[in-house]
């Protein structure tokens, strides 16, 4: 099974929701340090007319080769743990489950902070949040055919560490450590790559990556 990601007939058109993007724009790094206090937390953006949306909580997933996927995310700080941040986490889970996928990094929904959500369970009942994740140790090697919600319909073998120990914060800011192997270890490494602006297609040869770009462009023309 592919990773953050999932399968072939996936469409992202239904995920568009500009309101959510506006709602979370204060989490973006460009507006972060200087302007973060310009908006009181939870204050609606009054410059936008209110709109009723069916899928309020589905976020738009950026797709390769969107340059925003190349941004390096900044660490989450104490000030980021707002009610809006908790809502964003919930919305990311909903977006990931709906895609469907088993992992989603904040970078993929144009929020350039270091966190990601993962659930590799069949029943979708083991949600995991990794905030400011760090890999403490790596062991072994494994090859897996990966896919990515930001590179729809494309799958390729990628080599990763087979076992990792990770340190992160949970959604409430509590630190924890986790030993992961197999699919979970692969998924964590894939999502952490997103936070550094790296995509699984970067592990392919330039020639193959170019083919991927052309195939995606063709898919989009076909879908239009
Ligand atoms: Zn991905």
Predicted local distance difference test score (pLDDT) of residue 55? 53
Ligand 1 centroid from CA 200, angstroms: 7
Nearest one of 158, 215, 216 to 12, comparing CA atoms: 216
The span from the CA of 94 to the CA of 31, in Å, is 25
Which pLDDT belongs to residue 223?
83
| Averaged pLDDT for residues 7-21 | 33
- 143 CA → ligand 1 middle, Å: 16
Confidence of residue 38 (pLDDT cuts 50, 70, 90): very low
- The residue-averaged pLDDT of 24-41 equals 38
Residue 212 has pLDDT above 60, yes or no: yes
Q: How confident is the model at residue 76 (pLDDT cuts 50, 70, 90)?
A: very high
- Catalytically active residues are 191
Which of the four pLDDT bands, split at 50, 70 and 90, describes residue 1?
A: very low
Contacts for 222 with CB less than 8 Å, ≥ 6 apart:
none
Measured in Å, residue 149 CA sits from the centre of ligand 1 at 6
Q: What is the Å distance from ligand 1's center to 48 Cα?
A: 31
pLDDT confidence of 148, banded at 50, 70, 90? very high
**Residue 43 — pLDDT band, cuts 50, 70, 90?**
very low
pLDDT value of residue 224? 75
Ramachandran region, residue 182 (left: φ > 0; alpha: ψ -120 to 50; beta: rest): left
Tens of pLDDT, residue by residue over 91-134, are 999 999 999 999 999 999 999 999 999 999 999 999 999 999 99
């Amino acid at each position: 099974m592919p990773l953050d990601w999932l399968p072939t007939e996936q469409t992202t058109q239904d995920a568009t929701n500009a309101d959510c993007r506006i709602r979370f724009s204060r989490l973006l790094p460009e507006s972060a340090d200087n302007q973060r206090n310009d908006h009181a937390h939870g204050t609606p953006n009054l410059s936008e007319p209110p709109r009723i949306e069916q899928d309020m909580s589905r976020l738009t997933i950026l797709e390769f080769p969107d340059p925003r996927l190349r941004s390096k995310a900044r660490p989450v700080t104490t000030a980021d743990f707002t009610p809006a941040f908790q809502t964003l986490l919930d919305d990311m889970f909903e977006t990931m489950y709906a895609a469907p996928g088993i992992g989603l990094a904040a970078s993929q929904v144009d929020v350039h902070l270091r966190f990601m959500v993962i659930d590799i369970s069949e029943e979708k009942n083991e949600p995991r949040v990794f905030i400011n994740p760090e890999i403490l140790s790596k062991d072994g090697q494994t090859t897996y055919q990966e896919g990515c919600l930001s590179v729809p319909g494309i799958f390729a073998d990628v080599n990763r560490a087979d076992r990792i120990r990770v340190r992160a914060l949970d959604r409430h800011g509590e630190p924890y450590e986790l030993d992961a192997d197999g699919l979970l270890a692969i998924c964590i490494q894939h999502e952490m790559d997103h936070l550094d602006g790296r995509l699984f297609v970067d592990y392919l040869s330039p020639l193959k990556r170019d083919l991927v770009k052309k195939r995606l462009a063709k898919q989009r023309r076909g879908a239009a």
